[in-house]
């Protein structure tokens, strides 16, 4: 937190291509960065997160990288599939809540074309 | 284990009316959060409860919004009187409290879509 900027707002890729979504944050004390996926009409769900003591984390086709110096973190999805189509939100902790509540980015609508 | 549940799932009310949204967090989760997503925009923080206490309510738009969590279990969010700009999807989330420095995943409910006409 406290400000989280996310780009791009929309992203369209061909099935099998990679997708990258980038976020920046303003609070240098932030130490936890989750990514949520929200499919149409469904609830946001955590897909991956990273803590400030590591620079990269992978889980199958998704990975997150963190650059603490530059205060930005990115979501990478490889070999995209149609079911990856959704809105993705990055987030960072809100200081006032003991860093439990989150400040979210504006979201990226990912469309994977078959 | 039941997830976070919210009701109603949809609500359409007229400007000036009152609406109360309810959230039942996952059992044992001390932290309960309310968020709102207005059409196509970010998920915006409203407030955070730890058990029955408000930890941070700085995201509440104005005094037409009142949240309660009596007994530290379920929570309600009342909007009175509702205005057109209150339309959006209201999400509730909950997480465990694992103590200093520990991070617990926040689980979201399916949201209440509020339309004020």
Report how far Cα A61 is from the mean position of its chain's Cα atoms.
Answer: 14
Search chain B and give the residue with CA nearest A50: B103
Give the pLDDT of residue B58.
Answer: 92
pLDDT tens per residue across span B33-51 = 999 999 878 899 999 999 9
The lowest-confidence range among A10-14, A77-81, A91-95, B14-18 is A91-95
Q: What is the mean pLDDT of chain B?
A: 92
CA distance A49 to A36: 9
Number of CB atoms found within 10 A of residue A107's CB: 23
Distance from CA of B86 to the nearest CA of A (A): 18
Within 52-81 of A, beta carbons closer than 8 Å to B belong to none
Question: Quick one: pLDDT at residue A54?
Answer: 85
- The three-point CA angle B85-B114-B65 to 5° equals 60
Among chain B residues, the shortest Cα distance to A40 is held by: B110
Query: Which pLDDT score, from 0 to 100, does residue B2 have?
Result: 77
The pLDDT value recorded for residue B23 is 98
């Amino acid at each position: 937190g406290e400000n989280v900027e996310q780009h791009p707002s929309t992203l369209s890729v061909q099935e099998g291509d990679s997708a990258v979504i980038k976020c920046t944050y303003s609070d240098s004390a932030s130490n936890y960065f989750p990514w949520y996926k929200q499919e149409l009409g469904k609830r946001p769900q955590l897909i991956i997160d990273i803590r400030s003591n590591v620079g990269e984390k992978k889980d199958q086709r998704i990975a997150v990288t963190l650059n603490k110096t530059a205060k930005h973190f990115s979501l990478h999805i490889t070999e995209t599939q149609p079911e990856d189509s959704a809105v993705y939100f990055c987030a960072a902790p809100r200081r006032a809540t003991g860093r439990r509540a989150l400040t979210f980015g504006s979201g990226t609508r990912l469309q994977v074309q078959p | 284990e039941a997830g976070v549940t919210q009701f109603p799932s949809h609500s359409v009310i007229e400007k000036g009316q009152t609406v109360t949204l309810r959230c039942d967090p996952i059992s044992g989760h001390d932290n309960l959060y309310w968020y709102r997503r207005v059409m196509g925009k970010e998920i915006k923080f409203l407030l955070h409860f730890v058990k029955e206490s408000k930890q941070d309510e700085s995201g509440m738009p104005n005094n037409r919004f009142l949240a309660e969590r009596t007994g530290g279990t379920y929570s309600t969010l009342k909007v009175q009187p509702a205005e057109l700009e209150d339309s959006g999807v209201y999400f509730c989330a909950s997480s465990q409290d694992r103590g200093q420095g520990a991070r617990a995943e926040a689980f979201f409910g399916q949201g209440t879509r509020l339309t004020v006409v």
